[in-house]
Structure 1
Amino acid sequence: MADKEDLTRFGVAFPTPLIEQFDEYIEERGYKNRSEAFRDLVRKTLLEPSHLQSEQDVAGTIVMVYDHHISDLPIRLMELQHQAHHDIISNMHVHLNHDQCLEVIAVRGNLGRLRHLHQQIQVQKGVLYAELSVTYVDELNKLATRHSHDHNHSHHYE
Protein backbone atom coordinates (compact mmCIF):
# COMPACT_ATOMS: atom_id res chain seq x y z
CA MET A 1 0.00 0.00 0.00
CA ALA A 2 1.14 3.53 -0.73
CA ASP A 3 2.50 5.68 2.10
CA LYS A 4 0.16 8.37 3.45
CA GLU A 5 2.17 11.12 1.74
CA ASP A 6 1.54 9.37 -1.60
CA LEU A 7 -2.25 9.60 -1.18
CA THR A 8 -4.31 12.40 -2.69
CA ARG A 9 -7.50 13.18 -0.85
CA PHE A 10 -10.60 14.58 -2.54
CA GLY A 11 -14.29 14.83 -1.77
CA VAL A 12 -16.98 12.94 -3.63
CA ALA A 13 -20.70 13.64 -3.35
CA PHE A 14 -23.10 10.69 -3.66
CA PRO A 15 -26.89 10.65 -3.53
CA THR A 16 -27.92 9.05 -0.22
CA PRO A 17 -29.48 5.90 -1.78
CA LEU A 18 -26.33 5.31 -3.85
CA ILE A 19 -23.95 5.66 -0.90
CA GLU A 20 -26.16 3.31 1.12
CA GLN A 21 -25.89 0.71 -1.68
CA PHE A 22 -22.15 1.31 -1.87
CA ASP A 23 -21.79 0.81 1.88
CA GLU A 24 -23.66 -2.49 1.60
CA TYR A 25 -21.37 -3.47 -1.28
CA ILE A 26 -18.18 -2.75 0.68
CA GLU A 27 -19.48 -4.51 3.80
CA GLU A 28 -20.43 -7.65 1.81
CA ARG A 29 -16.96 -7.78 0.28
CA GLY A 30 -15.11 -7.14 3.53
CA TYR A 31 -13.53 -3.78 2.75
CA LYS A 32 -12.35 -1.82 5.76
CA ASN A 33 -13.41 1.53 4.31
CA ARG A 34 -14.88 3.29 1.29
CA SER A 35 -11.47 4.38 0.02
CA GLU A 36 -10.21 0.82 -0.46
CA ALA A 37 -13.36 -0.17 -2.34
CA PHE A 38 -13.30 2.98 -4.46
CA ARG A 39 -9.62 2.42 -5.40
CA ASP A 40 -10.38 -1.16 -6.50
CA LEU A 41 -13.32 0.01 -8.62
CA VAL A 42 -11.15 2.66 -10.28
CA ARG A 43 -8.37 0.11 -10.97
CA LYS A 44 -10.90 -2.26 -12.51
CA THR A 45 -12.32 0.51 -14.70
CA LEU A 46 -8.86 1.56 -15.88
CA LEU A 47 -8.11 -2.04 -16.91
CA GLU A 48 -11.12 -2.25 -19.23
CA PRO A 49 -9.78 -3.09 -22.69
CA SER A 50 -11.63 -0.14 -24.22
CA HIS A 51 -9.58 2.28 -22.08
CA LEU A 52 -6.19 0.83 -23.02
CA GLN A 53 -4.04 1.46 -26.08
CA SER A 54 -3.78 -1.32 -28.68
CA GLU A 55 0.03 -1.32 -28.57
CA GLN A 56 0.14 -2.08 -24.83
CA ASP A 57 1.21 -5.50 -23.63
CA VAL A 58 -1.34 -6.98 -21.25
CA ALA A 59 -2.40 -10.22 -19.61
CA GLY A 60 -5.88 -11.47 -18.93
CA THR A 61 -8.49 -13.92 -20.12
CA ILE A 62 -10.85 -14.59 -22.96
CA VAL A 63 -13.93 -16.36 -21.63
CA MET A 64 -16.41 -17.96 -24.00
CA VAL A 65 -19.50 -20.13 -23.91
CA TYR A 66 -20.38 -21.99 -27.06
CA ASP A 67 -22.57 -24.76 -28.43
CA HIS A 68 -20.19 -27.59 -29.28
CA HIS A 69 -22.81 -29.23 -31.54
CA ILE A 70 -22.53 -26.43 -34.12
CA SER A 71 -20.83 -27.96 -37.13
CA ASP A 72 -17.03 -27.48 -37.11
CA LEU A 73 -17.16 -24.81 -34.37
CA PRO A 74 -14.79 -26.63 -31.96
CA ILE A 75 -12.34 -27.11 -34.84
CA ARG A 76 -12.58 -23.42 -35.90
CA LEU A 77 -12.04 -22.28 -32.31
CA MET A 78 -9.01 -24.56 -31.97
CA GLU A 79 -7.57 -23.24 -35.26
CA LEU A 80 -7.98 -19.64 -34.04
CA GLN A 81 -6.15 -20.53 -30.85
CA HIS A 82 -3.36 -22.26 -32.77
CA GLN A 83 -2.93 -19.14 -34.92
CA ALA A 84 -2.56 -17.09 -31.72
CA HIS A 85 -0.39 -19.61 -29.85
CA HIS A 86 2.27 -17.00 -28.98
CA ASP A 87 -0.32 -15.01 -27.00
CA ILE A 88 -2.02 -17.95 -25.27
CA ILE A 89 -0.59 -19.11 -21.95
CA SER A 90 -3.14 -21.79 -21.10
CA ASN A 91 -6.77 -22.73 -21.48
CA MET A 92 -9.41 -24.61 -19.55
CA HIS A 93 -12.40 -26.36 -21.10
CA VAL A 94 -15.51 -27.18 -19.06
CA HIS A 95 -18.64 -29.04 -20.18
CA LEU A 96 -21.57 -27.00 -18.81
CA ASN A 97 -24.30 -29.30 -20.05
CA HIS A 98 -25.06 -31.59 -22.99
CA ASP A 99 -24.79 -28.75 -25.53
CA GLN A 100 -22.68 -25.96 -24.06
CA CYS A 101 -19.02 -25.61 -23.20
CA LEU A 102 -17.20 -22.92 -21.24
CA GLU A 103 -13.65 -22.14 -22.22
CA VAL A 104 -11.27 -19.84 -20.38
CA ILE A 105 -8.14 -18.83 -22.28
CA ALA A 106 -5.32 -17.19 -20.33
CA VAL A 107 -3.62 -14.69 -22.64
CA ARG A 108 -0.61 -12.41 -22.55
CA GLY A 109 0.51 -10.20 -25.38
CA ASN A 110 -0.22 -7.15 -27.46
CA LEU A 111 -3.71 -5.84 -26.70
CA GLY A 112 -4.44 -5.19 -30.38
CA ARG A 113 -3.76 -8.85 -31.23
CA LEU A 114 -5.80 -10.05 -28.25
CA ARG A 115 -8.72 -7.82 -29.27
CA HIS A 116 -8.51 -9.30 -32.77
CA LEU A 117 -8.52 -12.86 -31.39
CA HIS A 118 -11.50 -12.02 -29.18
CA GLN A 119 -13.40 -10.56 -32.14
CA GLN A 120 -12.65 -13.60 -34.28
CA ILE A 121 -14.02 -15.86 -31.53
CA GLN A 122 -17.04 -13.67 -30.83
CA VAL A 123 -18.36 -13.70 -34.39
CA GLN A 124 -18.30 -17.48 -34.82
CA LYS A 125 -21.75 -19.01 -35.27
CA GLY A 126 -22.55 -20.89 -32.08
CA VAL A 127 -20.47 -18.72 -29.74
CA LEU A 128 -23.05 -17.51 -27.24
CA TYR A 129 -20.74 -15.35 -25.14
CA ALA A 130 -17.17 -14.09 -25.47
CA GLU A 131 -15.41 -11.53 -23.34
CA LEU A 132 -11.85 -10.23 -23.17
CA SER A 133 -10.84 -9.20 -19.66
CA VAL A 134 -7.54 -7.47 -18.91
CA THR A 135 -6.12 -7.97 -15.43
CA TYR A 136 -2.55 -6.76 -15.93
CA VAL A 137 -0.83 -4.07 -17.98
CA ASP A 138 2.89 -4.56 -18.54
CA GLU A 139 4.11 -1.03 -17.87
CA LEU A 140 7.77 -2.13 -17.81
CA ASN A 141 7.53 -3.59 -21.30
CA LYS A 142 5.82 -0.40 -22.48
CA LEU A 143 8.76 1.62 -21.17
CA ALA A 144 11.26 -0.79 -22.73
CA THR A 145 9.47 -0.45 -26.06
CA ARG A 146 9.68 3.34 -25.85
CA HIS A 147 13.40 3.17 -25.08
CA SER A 148 14.08 0.72 -27.89
CA HIS A 149 12.74 3.30 -30.35
CA ASP A 150 15.03 5.99 -28.95
CA HIS A 151 17.50 6.80 -31.72
CA ASN A 152 19.93 8.46 -29.34
CA HIS A 153 22.70 5.87 -29.10
CA SER A 154 24.59 7.54 -26.24
CA HIS A 155 23.12 5.33 -23.51
CA HIS A 156 25.61 4.17 -20.90
CA TYR A 157 24.92 1.04 -18.87
CA GLU A 158 26.57 0.38 -15.57
Structure 2
Amino acid sequence: MQHDELNRFGVSIPSDLLMQFDKQIKQQGYGNRSEAIRDLIRKSLLQPQQYPATQCVAGTIAMVYDHHASELPLSLIALQHAYHHDIISTMHVHLSHELCLEILVVRGEVRRLRELGDRIRVLKGVLYAELSVTHLDPARGGEHRGHHGRQHDDEHT
Protein backbone atom coordinates (compact mmCIF):
# COMPACT_ATOMS: atom_id res chain seq x y z
CA MET A 1 0.00 0.00 0.00
CA GLN A 2 1.45 3.33 -1.05
CA HIS A 3 1.34 6.13 1.52
CA ASP A 4 0.95 9.75 0.52
CA GLU A 5 3.61 12.23 1.48
CA LEU A 6 2.76 13.84 4.80
CA ASN A 7 2.34 17.60 4.91
CA ARG A 8 2.56 19.78 8.01
CA PHE A 9 0.41 22.85 8.56
CA GLY A 10 -0.35 25.18 11.46
CA VAL A 11 -3.75 25.76 13.00
CA SER A 12 -4.75 28.63 15.29
CA ILE A 13 -7.28 27.53 17.89
CA PRO A 14 -8.45 28.98 21.23
CA SER A 15 -6.82 27.30 24.25
CA ASP A 16 -10.08 26.16 25.83
CA LEU A 17 -11.23 24.53 22.58
CA LEU A 18 -7.87 22.79 22.21
CA MET A 19 -8.07 21.50 25.79
CA GLN A 20 -11.54 20.06 25.11
CA PHE A 21 -10.29 18.48 21.88
CA ASP A 22 -7.25 16.96 23.60
CA LYS A 23 -9.46 15.52 26.34
CA GLN A 24 -11.86 14.04 23.80
CA ILE A 25 -9.20 12.47 21.58
CA LYS A 26 -7.45 10.98 24.62
CA GLN A 27 -10.76 9.38 25.71
CA GLN A 28 -11.21 8.03 22.18
CA GLY A 29 -7.73 6.49 22.23
CA TYR A 30 -5.94 8.60 19.65
CA GLY A 31 -2.16 8.65 19.94
CA ASN A 32 -1.89 12.25 18.83
CA ARG A 33 -3.77 15.23 17.39
CA SER A 34 -2.71 14.46 13.83
CA GLU A 35 -4.52 11.10 13.84
CA ALA A 36 -7.69 12.72 15.19
CA ILE A 37 -7.57 15.60 12.70
CA ARG A 38 -7.07 13.18 9.78
CA ASP A 39 -10.20 11.29 10.89
CA LEU A 40 -12.16 14.55 11.20
CA ILE A 41 -11.11 15.54 7.68
CA ARG A 42 -12.08 12.11 6.29
CA LYS A 43 -15.45 12.38 8.01
CA SER A 44 -16.06 15.86 6.61
CA LEU A 45 -15.26 14.60 3.12
CA LEU A 46 -17.97 11.95 3.45
CA GLN A 47 -20.77 14.48 3.88
CA PRO A 48 -23.58 13.77 1.38
CA GLN A 49 -23.57 17.34 0.06
CA GLN A 50 -19.96 16.88 -1.10
CA TYR A 51 -20.88 14.55 -3.96
CA PRO A 52 -22.43 14.98 -7.39
CA ALA A 53 -26.09 13.96 -7.42
CA THR A 54 -25.33 10.84 -9.49
CA GLN A 55 -22.43 9.61 -7.33
CA CYS A 56 -22.96 6.06 -6.02
CA VAL A 57 -22.48 5.81 -2.26
CA ALA A 58 -23.42 3.55 0.62
CA GLY A 59 -24.43 4.60 4.09
CA THR A 60 -27.27 4.76 6.55
CA ILE A 61 -30.38 6.76 7.25
CA ALA A 62 -31.00 6.80 10.98
CA MET A 63 -34.35 7.98 12.27
CA VAL A 64 -36.15 8.31 15.57
CA TYR A 65 -39.91 8.58 15.49
CA ASP A 66 -43.08 8.29 17.53
CA HIS A 67 -44.77 5.15 16.27
CA HIS A 68 -48.07 6.35 17.73
CA ALA A 69 -48.13 9.32 15.33
CA SER A 70 -51.15 8.93 13.11
CA GLU A 71 -50.40 7.06 9.88
CA LEU A 72 -46.61 7.41 10.35
CA PRO A 73 -45.77 3.67 10.38
CA LEU A 74 -47.77 3.17 7.17
CA SER A 75 -46.10 6.20 5.55
CA LEU A 76 -42.64 4.90 6.46
CA ILE A 77 -43.43 1.46 5.05
CA ALA A 78 -44.77 3.00 1.84
CA LEU A 79 -41.61 5.10 1.44
CA GLN A 80 -39.38 2.09 2.05
CA HIS A 81 -41.25 0.16 -0.63
CA ALA A 82 -40.95 3.08 -3.04
CA TYR A 83 -37.17 3.12 -2.47
CA HIS A 84 -36.65 -0.64 -2.15
CA HIS A 85 -33.82 -0.67 -4.74
CA ASP A 86 -31.88 1.79 -2.59
CA ILE A 87 -32.42 0.05 0.76
CA ILE A 88 -30.15 -2.92 1.50
CA SER A 89 -31.32 -3.66 5.04
CA THR A 90 -33.27 -2.22 7.95
CA MET A 91 -33.04 -2.47 11.71
CA HIS A 92 -35.86 -1.47 14.04
CA VAL A 93 -35.37 -0.88 17.77
CA HIS A 94 -38.00 0.03 20.37
CA LEU A 95 -36.50 2.81 22.48
CA SER A 96 -39.56 3.29 24.67
CA HIS A 97 -43.30 2.73 24.58
CA GLU A 98 -43.64 5.59 22.09
CA LEU A 99 -40.28 5.97 20.36
CA CYS A 100 -38.59 3.78 17.77
CA LEU A 101 -35.13 3.96 16.26
CA GLU A 102 -34.91 2.69 12.71
CA ILE A 103 -31.76 2.41 10.65
CA LEU A 104 -31.87 1.95 6.89
CA VAL A 105 -28.70 0.68 5.25
CA VAL A 106 -28.73 2.31 1.83
CA ARG A 107 -26.77 2.24 -1.40
CA GLY A 108 -27.39 4.24 -4.52
CA GLU A 109 -27.17 7.67 -6.03
CA VAL A 110 -26.71 10.49 -3.54
CA ARG A 111 -29.67 12.31 -5.10
CA ARG A 112 -32.05 9.44 -4.32
CA LEU A 113 -30.70 8.83 -0.84
CA ARG A 114 -30.95 12.53 0.05
CA GLU A 115 -34.47 12.55 -1.35
CA LEU A 116 -35.44 9.55 0.78
CA GLY A 117 -33.92 11.09 3.91
CA ASP A 118 -35.70 14.39 3.26
CA ARG A 119 -39.04 12.67 2.67
CA ILE A 120 -38.67 10.78 5.97
CA ARG A 121 -37.53 13.87 7.91
CA VAL A 122 -40.64 15.93 7.09
CA LEU A 123 -43.16 13.29 8.15
CA LYS A 124 -45.20 14.26 11.20
CA GLY A 125 -43.91 12.28 14.18
CA VAL A 126 -40.33 11.91 12.93
CA LEU A 127 -38.07 13.51 15.52
CA TYR A 128 -34.77 12.89 13.73
CA ALA A 129 -33.67 11.59 10.35
CA GLU A 130 -30.15 11.86 8.97
CA LEU A 131 -28.31 10.42 5.98
CA SER A 132 -24.74 9.40 6.73
CA VAL A 133 -22.43 8.39 3.87
CA THR A 134 -19.88 5.77 4.86
CA HIS A 135 -18.59 4.59 1.49
CA LEU A 136 -17.92 6.23 -1.82
CA ASP A 137 -17.45 4.22 -4.98
CA PRO A 138 -15.68 6.62 -7.35
CA ALA A 139 -15.27 3.99 -10.06
CA ARG A 140 -19.03 3.53 -10.27
CA GLY A 141 -20.17 7.13 -10.37
CA GLY A 142 -23.87 6.97 -11.09
CA GLU A 143 -23.94 3.37 -12.31
CA HIS A 144 -25.92 1.95 -9.37
CA ARG A 145 -29.48 2.70 -10.23
CA GLY A 146 -32.80 1.60 -8.88
CA HIS A 147 -36.24 1.57 -10.46
CA HIS A 148 -37.97 4.02 -12.85
CA GLY A 149 -35.94 3.02 -15.87
CA ARG A 150 -32.65 3.31 -14.09
CA GLN A 151 -30.14 0.50 -14.21
CA HIS A 152 -29.66 -1.58 -11.02
CA ASP A 153 -26.64 -3.58 -9.88
CA ASP A 154 -28.34 -6.91 -10.55
CA GLU A 155 -29.29 -5.86 -14.05
CA HIS A 156 -25.93 -5.05 -15.60
CA THR A 157 -22.98 -7.26 -16.32
- What TM-score bracket applies, with the shorter chain setting the length? 0.7 to 0.9
1:92 corresponding residue in structure 2: 91
Q: Could you report, residue by residue, the CA deviation over 1:63-115 in whole angstroms, capped at 9, with x for unpaired residues? A: 11111112221111011001111110100011111111110000011000000
Equivalent positions of 1:1-158 (< 5 A) are: 3=3, 6-142=5-141
- Cα distance in 2 for residues equivalent to 1:71 and 1:144: 38
TM-score (norm 1): 0.84
Identity of aligned residues (%): 57
Q: 1:100 to 1:144 in 2, by over 3 A?
A: closer
- Cα distance in 2 for residues equivalent to 1:143 and 1:74: 31
Greater radius of gyration (CA)? 1
- Cα distance in 1 for residues equivalent to 2:143 and 2:108: 15
- Cα distance in 1 for residues equivalent to 2:21 and 2:57: 30
What letter matches 1:104 in structure 2?
I
**Structure with greater proportional helix content:** 1
- Cα distance in 2 for residues equivalent to 1:97 and 1:70: 14
- Cα distance in 2 for residues equivalent to 1:53 and 1:14: 32
Q: Which runs of 5+ in 2 are unaligned?
A: 145-157
1:16 CA drift (Å) = 2.0
Number of residue pairs matched by the alignment: 144
TM-score (norm 2): 0.84
Q: 1:72 to 1:36 in 2, by over 3 A?
A: same
- Cα distance in 1 for residues equivalent to 2:142 and 2:97: 47
* SS of equivalent to 1:140: coil
- Aligned CA RMSD, in angstroms, stands at 1.9
